[in-house]
């Protein structure tokens, strides 16, 4: 088996933990958006979270794409309160949310420094289910906009492929001039970031921040970690 040449990361809940920003910024966005601010968050937010969970599963299994997910989530939520909205209002809210979210996305100098150091030994890239604009905005806010660019960030929107489709992983590897077995994938989703990459011929490390039980499965990750400190220790021990 070849040496690792590429560290391929998931973004959400791997390099960027959604618990650190998403709920707080989404709540504030609804509470201040002109169309929704008078509904009352004690009524609106539970309805929104219900549709977010239901529709997110459809997005993850490829039934709908990211844009459809955001539109349907917004339309269904506001429909519960007698408001008829469409793509124009949904797009306006998403822009509003991104503006609010900017202040909540953490800029971790230690993470930036660590990835910069890793980039001296391995190629780095991101493979993420999401929209081009949204994911690059997050990376910019994190201080990673120069390390991760259009050349090494692969979004499902751009590719027309979403994890766990085998072709998504192979596209990222080929774009980075790597064979699949030269890629080590790091991510939090068992299906998308462990089983999917391994089925495509890659190696994988499960970023299990919450300490979940290892799923019964035929595939085995290279390691299970709860933080990037553990990844660094693993890489030093195994590949240096």
What is the residue-wise DSSP string for 75-137? HHHHHTTT----HHHHHHHHHHHHHHHTTTS---HHHHHHHHHHHTTSEEEEEESS-HHHHHH
All residues at 6 or more sequence positions from 197 whose CB lies less than 8 Å from its CB, including other chains = 8, 169, 183, 185, 203, 204
pLDDT digits (tens, 9 = 90+) for 155-179: 998 999 889 999 999 999 999 999 9
What pLDDT sits at residue 217? 75
Residue 36 lies in a domain: yes
Report CA-CA distances (Å) from 151 to 42, 56, 144, 172. Answer: 43, 27, 13, 10
Residues 50 and 91 in one domain: yes
Which 3 state secondary structure label does DSSP give 221?
coil
Residues 86 and 133 in one domain: no
Residues 208 and 94 in one domain: no
Residue 1 lies in a domain: no
Residues 232 and 118 in one domain: yes
Residue 230, domain CATH = 3.40.50.1000
Residue 200, token pair as written in the block = 């495509």
What percent of the chain lies above the pLDDT cut of 70? 99
pTM exceeds 0.85, yes or no: yes
Q: How many domains does the chain have?
A: 2
> How far is CA 67 from its chain centroid?
15
Residues 119 and 171 in one domain: yes
Domain that holds residue 59: 22-101
Residues 55 and 166 in one domain: no
Residues 129 and 11 in one domain: yes
Residue 194 lies in a domain: yes
Which 3 state secondary structure label does DSSP give 138?
helix
Confidence of residue 240 (pLDDT cuts 50, 70, 90): low
pLDDT digits (tens, 9 = 90+) for 2-44: 789 999 999 999 999 998 899 999 999 999 999 999 999 999 9
What pLDDT sits at residue 238? 76
73 neighbors 48 (Cβ within 8 angstroms): yes
pLDDT digits (tens, 9 = 90+) for 68-104: 999 999 999 999 999 999 999 999 999 999 999 999 9
Residue 30, domain CATH = 1.10.150.240
Is the bond into 208 cis (omega within 30 degrees of 0)?
no
Residues 79 and 197 in one domain: no
Residues 119 and 218 in one domain: yes
């Amino acid at each position: 088996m070849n040496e690792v040449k590429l560290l391929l990361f998931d973004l959400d809940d791997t390099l960027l933990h959604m618990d650190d920003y998403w709920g707080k910024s989404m709540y504030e966005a609804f509470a201040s958006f002109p169309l929704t601010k008078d509904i009352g968050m004690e009524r609106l937010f539970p309805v929104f979270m219900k549709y977010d969970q239901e529709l997110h599963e459809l997005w993850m299994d490829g039934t709908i794409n990211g844009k459809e997910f955001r539109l349907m989530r917004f339309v269904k939520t506001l429909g519960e309160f007698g408001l008829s909205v469409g793509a124009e209002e949904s797009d306006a809210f998403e822009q509003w949310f991104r503006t609010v979210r900017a202040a909540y996305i953490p800029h971790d100098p230690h993470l930036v420094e660590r990835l910069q150091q890793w980039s001296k030994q391995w190629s780095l890239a991101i493979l993420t289910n999401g929209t081009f604009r949204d994911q690059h905005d997050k990376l910019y806010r994190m201080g990673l906009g120069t390390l991760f660019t259009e050349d090494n960030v692969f979004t499902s929107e751009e590719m027309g492929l979403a994890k766990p489709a085998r072709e998504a992983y192979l596209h990222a590897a080929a774009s980075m001039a790597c064979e699949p077995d030269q890629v080590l994938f790091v991510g939090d989703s068992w299906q998308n970031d462990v089983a999917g990459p391994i089925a495509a011929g890659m190696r994988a490390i499960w970023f299990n921040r919450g300490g979940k039980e290892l799923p019964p499965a035929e595939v085995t990750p290279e390691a299970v970690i709860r933080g990037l400190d553990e990844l660094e220790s693993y890489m030093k021990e195994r590949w240096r």
